[in-house]
Amino acid sequence: MRHSPILGIHGAPADGAAPVSAPSLTTPNFAVAKGERELRLDFFRGLALWLIYVDHVSPDLLTWVTIRNYGFSDAAEVFIFISGFTAALVYGRATFEAGFVIGTARVLRRVWQIYTAHLLLFLVLMAEIAFVTTVSEKPAFYIQEMEVGEFFKQPGSEVIQALLLRFRPLNMDILPLYIVLMAFLPLVLLLARLHRDLPLALSAGLYVLMLRYDLHLSTYPDGFWSFNPYAWQLLFVFGAWCALGGGKRLSPILNSRFVFGLALTYLCAAFFVTMTWYFPSLERLIPGWVAGLIYPINKTDFDILRFAHFLALAVVALRFVPDDWAELRSAWARPLILCGQYSLQIFAVGVALSFAGYALLIELDAGFVLHAVVGAGGILILYSIARVFTWYKWAMSGRERATANMSKLIAQSS
């Protein structure tokens, strides 16, 4: 069975095939061939987007059907890793083939797209909150829950801080992180040209400095980024490093039965630890020295235990979902893949939709059945939007082909 490498899991060359020469230390060996699409990336990113929506719309109930309550990491790690991986594939190839200036220009165009999507989402979410606080009998609850009290007191200064990415309501933290990480992608690619492992080495060094000197970015009026870019850059750069060939070089390790068993063991241990958070009677089963060693498991600063948990999940998931897995082309996987292919749009809609669903569930004092209906209904809306984007892309590409053919006929007849 053949596996194209995401974290490096892939098959050996066919019998009789010539051995592949070792790549240069300054030449990237992309994990996905030019012109090909790694459906697993879209599949898992789509799954992460669905899980993020469910975690936001029903943070106290439906999270029991996501991965959030069963280990140290959650869907955020999946989203950031795949974002780094796909960014390095797309813009790394453009940078190495067309030059640093052109590659950087394309990256900055993407940064602008993410930034404008963030601002539009901010406006939509604030409008939603304003509407809900107008019709609800408990407006103070929503203002406090969404952390927007200062905005309604002095919206002028808060809008300026929103433009600077220093003020954002609850659940609007991932896109600002994504903007910062993407802005530094050209530097990552430039370092990769000097040495294939230099970006990851410097990224790990920055992570250590963050821990040592408590590096962080502040928010307005007083606080810190919920996703510390100094910390989460490690996962993004690791994803880029895997895409640029690092994953292939990890394959001898990741393919071993020992590492697979170690990953399963770690996942089970993490599962037990997280269960103690919800069932305090289990805490006595964890030795005091172990608790002192692992706590606190900080999400803001991307605790190393979360990184290890994500790696363990990836090793197990990729073992059971190879790139030639027939189900990736099945009807049930298509909604996930389509949502993953339009990740920015689906994420933004999911955040806006999740607050609307959350407010509805609060106002109705809903039980599990209605929570499930709102969760499933929201996912159906996200898939429908992805279908619309897919149709629009198909329609526009058809028009472009027709225009190109017409131009060609005119040129031939002249």
- Fill in the amino acid letter for 166: R
What are phi and psi for residue 366, nearest 5 degrees? -70, 155
> Contact, 157 vs 182, CB < 8 A?
no
Question: If you ran DSSP here, which 8-state letter would residue 63 be given?
Answer: G
Taking 90 as the threshold, does the pLDDT of residue 181 lie above it? yes
Domain range for 295? 39-404
Buried/exposed code over 138-163 (b: 16+ C-beta within 10 A; e: otherwise): eeeebbebbbbebbeeeeeebbebbe
70 part of a folded domain? yes
For residues 345 and 156, give the distance between their C-alpha atoms in angstroms, rounded to a whole number: 27
Instruction: Note whether residue 148 is domain-resident.
Output: yes
In a domain, 6, yes or no: no
Residue 21 lies in a domain: no
Q: Decide if 243 contacts 31 (C-beta within 8 A).
A: yes
Q: How many domains does the chain have?
A: 1
Average pLDDT over residues 371-399: 91
Instruction: Name the residue with higher pLDDT: 7 or 311.
Output: 311
Residue 324 has pLDDT above 90, yes or no: no
Q: What does the pLDDT read at residue 12?
A: 40
The predicted pLDDT at position 149 comes to 92
As a whole number, mean pLDDT of residues 40-53 equals: 96
**Least reliable range by pLDDT among 29-43, 137-151, 154-168:** 29-43
Q: What is the pLDDT of residue 340?
A: 96
> Which has the higher per-residue pLDDT, 407 or 80?
80
- Residue-averaged pLDDT of the chain: 89
pLDDT at position 141: 95
Q: Tell me, what's the pLDDT at 16?
A: 44
Mean pLDDT over 392-405 rounds to 70
How confident is the model at residue 23, as a pLDDT? 54
pTM, two decimals, is: 0.90
Amino acid at 30: F
SS3 224: strand
Instruction: State residue 306 phi and psi, 5-degree precision.
Output: -70, -40
- Given pLDDT bands bounded at 50, 70 and 90, which one contains residue 19? very low
User: Does residue 24 form part of some domain?
Assistant: no
Residue 33: CB atoms within 10 A of its CB come to 9
At 45 the pLDDT is 97
Q: Identify whether 327 is part of a domain.
A: yes
Read off the pLDDT of residues 61-102 as tens digits, 9 standing for 90 and up.
999 999 999 999 999 999 999 999 999 999 998 899 889 999
* Closest among 121, 143, 145, 144 to 130, alpha carbons compared: 143
Q: Which long-range contacts (CB under 8 A, 24 or more apart) does 384-392 make?
A: 385/342, 385/345, 385/346, 385/349, 386/335, 386/338, 386/339, 386/341, 386/342, 386/345, 386/346, 387/338, 389/342, 389/345, 390/338, 390/341, 390/342
Distance in angstroms (rounded) separating the CA atoms of residues 125 and 351: 8
- DSSP conformation letters of 160-203: HHHHTTS---TT--HHHHHHHHHHTHHHHHHHHHH-TTHHHHHH
pLDDT of residue 407: 54
User: 10 Å Cβ neighbour count for 305?
Assistant: 20
What was the pLDDT predicted at 1?
Answer: 43
Biggest CA-to-CA distance, the chain = 86
- Ramachandran bin of 146, using left for φ above 0, alpha for ψ from -120 to 50, beta for the remaining angles: alpha
The answer to whether residue 411 is domain-embedded is: no
With pLDDT > 70 as the criterion, what percentage of the chain qualifies? 88
pLDDT, tens only, 210-245: 999 999 999 988 889 999 999 999 999 999 999 999
Whether 240 is in a domain gets the answer: yes
404 has a pLDDT exceeding 90: no
